Structure 1
Amino acid sequence: MTDKAPHPADTPLYPIREVSRITGVNSVTLRAWERRYGLIRPQRTPKGHRLYAHEDIERVERILQWLGRGVPVSQVRELLDQPEAAPTPIPASGDWPSQQRQLIAAIEALDLGQLEVLFNQSLALYPVSVCLSELWQPAVRELEERWSDQLGAALQRRCLEAFLRTRIGIRLHHANQCLKGPTLLVAPLPDDPGPLWLLLAALAASDAGYRIQLLDTALPFGELPLAVERFGAGALLLVSGRAERADLVRRQLPRLAEQLDAPLGLCGPVARIRGNVLADSLVELLGDDLPLAMTRLRSLIHDA
């Protein structure tokens, strides 16, 4: 990318926090794209603050399109800089599967140092929604299949849960200080074997702009209406990686939805597995694709 000329004086310029709000890409990722890959090049104020023009925002959106198609961030620049008339190349494949293999290998080896590197690298270079869809959800699904009959499965699961509880918990704490969206109460269902899907759902919801009140162990259903009231939650999000007991799904969940003054959303594998049972209830089935679930939740809270 060549250096660009300064924009005319009357061109609107946006600070990094506004670009982050418009595009959904956090400021850490925007700075990484600039410093490490030269994907964007904002202007600077005399004090060094970044200012972005509308064309920079359009460029960020094009970057997101390529990333969403599976192109590694290291290969995006050459695609962006091609003339508009050039044929659109076929995106390189294999990067996300490679990252999934690295992530799974680090977890199975209990290599917490490598896990830290992969976690920080993925969230610094890609939007949270892309990381979840392309890396973390597929990796967790594959691990859960392996854990069904693998020696050391419990140890691997607990180590991963402890790692994510700390890392995601820190992100939620800092995000809650500046987010102004509605509060979302996020809690697991009783049969969930651990908080993997819960933590990923909380991360997706925070990225979608919600202030997160997270309960990492199941609360008795009789106390959930009180919790929603006390926290002033705009919705209750229940999560599970299991099918959950038939009685709980058929009777208790619909009854709970009727008692709440806020919408009740269900996400994670349970929403896919038990969808037919709850189709005619007040329980909103958000699915097990977490970024898509947050899109559905947004319209649900808006309607409420």
Structure 2
Amino acid sequence: MIRLLVESGITDTTQHLPQNPQEATVRMSDNATHPTNAPLYPIREVSRLTGVNPVTLRAWERRYSLIRPQRTPKGHRLYASDDIERIEHILQWLNRGVPVSQVRELLDQPHVAETPDPIAGDWPSQRYQLVAAVESLDLSRLDALFNQCMALYPVETCLSELFKPLVDELEERWDSHLGAALQRRTLEAFLRTRTGTRLYHANLVNPGPVLLIGRLPEDQGMLWSLLIALAASQARYRVHFFDAPLPFSELPLAVERFKAAALLLCSGQAERADMIRRQLPRLADQLDVPVGLCGPVARIRQHDLQDSQVAILGDDPPKAITKLASLISA
């Protein structure tokens, strides 16, 4: 845990305890077993260290008893270093595809070597429910499923296990499906509202550089760019998101005016060959910041761009943002 203390920049942990002398006396929760002299962290600092938002941390505690922070007399949560280690273990299991309802049992068996078979309520079941909600245009059900996922799992897990597979499956169905346009626009409007709200609030506090995220000309909608924007915001970038494709001639101006550290362009389509092979590399040569290609177009057109300055980031949103980080810091 020395690594966590160094990365957090905290050398005197008492500065995060309440200043009121009465609050300084910590009341242990019934299940807490931390030493009284252990360093303690408020929930916002734990969120920063682990990448798990406070809403999710509270849900893990209340609904599944996965973590047991200490409490001050006024009820404020304080986490010890072993709580942070436990949260890291939870994330490891979730990233292996284990449903949150199974994680507590695994945490109590630290020597388990293999991931158990998923039970009902696992990712395939949740994906099926999401697809059904979109196809039936059941916005109430879609909202409940979205909120449940975002409350219980890290954003990266939601994107990789639910939202990207959802878009992949729906786009295959929409190729020859009556009512496809209605379903697509309904899902886009839903995700645009939820993502836009998150981006607005995150941009106020995120310390990272600015990213511009937009669509390529033939993309049929904004689903892929929304997923990429959500992943970038969770990685603490400040995101400027364009609903509609911008002319290539205006993208350099946008990068300059917004002081962007990178430009990400997304599409679920193959896009025109001349645009991919000529216009996009020319744009990348003009700019002093990385130009990244995201979504299925990156997989489809990677060979056309292998000798260009365009960064092929792939169609997995969290992995794409991870790849981008090395380009920005280079």
Same-fold call, TM cutoff 0.5: yes
In structure 2, how many angstroms separate the alpha carbons of the residues matched to 1:53 and 1:77?
18
Report whether the alignment pairs 1:193 with 2:220: yes
Q: What is aligned with 1:212?
A: 239
1:93 CA displacement: 5.2
Q: What is aligned with 2:250?
A: 223
Residues 32 and 69 in structure 2, CA contact (< 8 A), matched pair in contact too: no
1:85 CA displacement: 4.7
Q: What is aligned with 2:308?
A: 281
What one-letter code is carried by the residue in structure 1 that aligns with 2:133? A
- CA separation of 1:59/1:91 partners in 2, compared to 1, >3 Å: closer, same or farther? farther
1:46 CA displacement: 2.9
In structure 1, how many angstroms separate the alpha carbons of the residues matched to 2:39 and 2:46?
12
Kindly provide the CA deviation profile for residues 41-95 of structure 1, in whole angstroms up to 9, marking residues without a partner as x.
111223322111111111111111111122111111111123x356656242561
In structure 1, how many angstroms separate the alpha carbons of the residues matched to 2:295 and 2:56?
27
Residues 70 and 91 in structure 1, CA contact (< 8 A), matched pair in contact too: no
In structure 1, how many angstroms separate the alpha carbons of the residues matched to 2:327 and 2:96?
28
Report whether the alignment pairs 1:146 with 2:173: yes
| Corresponding residue pairs, total | 301
Residues 110 and 156 in structure 1, CA contact (< 8 A), matched pair in contact too: yes
Residues 266 and 284 in structure 1, CA contact (< 8 A), matched pair in contact too: yes
1:8 CA displacement: 2.8
Report whether the alignment pairs 1:4 with 2:4: no
- CA separation of 1:133/1:265 partners in 2, compared to 1, >3 Å: closer, same or farther? same
Q: What is aligned with 1:165?
A: 192
In structure 1, how many angstroms separate the alpha carbons of the residues matched to 2:39 and 2:188?
45
- CA separation of 1:93/1:70 partners in 2, compared to 1, >3 Å: closer, same or farther? farther
- Secondary structure of the structure 2 residue equivalent to 1:276: helix
Q: Which range is displaced more, 17-26 or 133-142?
A: 17-26
Residues 50 and 84 in structure 2, CA contact (< 8 A), matched pair in contact too: yes
- Secondary structure of the structure 1 residue equivalent to 2:265: strand
Residues 71 and 93 in structure 1, CA contact (< 8 A), matched pair in contact too: no
Q: What is aligned with 1:96?
A: 123
Residues 70 and 93 in structure 1, CA contact (< 8 A), matched pair in contact too: no
Q: What is aligned with 2:41?
A: 14
Residues 192 and 241 in structure 1, CA contact (< 8 A), matched pair in contact too: yes
Q: Aligned match of 1:108 in 105, 129, 135?
A: 135
Residues 56 and 154 in structure 2, CA contact (< 8 A), matched pair in contact too: yes
Q: What is aligned with 1:132?
A: 159
In structure 2, how many angstroms separate the alpha carbons of the residues matched to 1:181 and 1:252?
29
In structure 2, how many angstroms separate the alpha carbons of the residues matched to 1:280 and 1:168?
34
Kindly provide the CA deviation profile for residues 201-254 of structure 1, in whole angstroms up to 9, marking residues without a partner as x.
100110111000011100010110000010011111111111110010000000
Q: CA RMSD in A?
A: 1.5
Q: What is aligned with 2:147?
A: 120
- Secondary structure of the structure 1 residue equivalent to 2:305: coil
Q: What is aligned with 2:9?
A: none
Residues 204 and 294 in structure 1, CA contact (< 8 A), matched pair in contact too: yes
In structure 2, how many angstroms separate the alpha carbons of the residues matched to 1:239 and 1:257?
15
Unaligned runs of 5+ in 1: none
Q: Aligned match of 1:29 in 49, 56, 79?
A: 56
Report whether the alignment pairs 1:50 with 2:77: yes
Q: Which range is displaced more, 63-72 or 285-294?
A: 63-72
1:7 CA displacement: 2.1
Residues 214 and 242 in structure 2, CA contact (< 8 A), matched pair in contact too: yes
Residues 37 and 77 in structure 1, CA contact (< 8 A), matched pair in contact too: yes
Report whether the alignment pairs 1:233 with 2:284: no
In structure 1, how many angstroms separate the alpha carbons of the residues matched to 2:322 and 2:119?
27
Task: Give the TM-score, by structure 2 length.
Answer: 0.88
- Secondary structure of the structure 1 residue equivalent to 2:303: coil
Unaligned runs of 5+ in 2: 1-28
Q: What is aligned with 1:268?
A: 295
Structure with max Cα Rg: 2
Percent of aligned positions with the same letter in both sequences?
A: 67
- Secondary structure of the structure 1 residue equivalent to 2:263: strand
- CA separation of 1:217/1:12 partners in 2, compared to 1, >3 Å: closer, same or farther? same
1:297 CA displacement: 0.5
Kindly provide the CA deviation profile for residues 20-49 of structure 1, in whole angstroms up to 9, marking residues without a partner as x.
111111111111101111100111223322
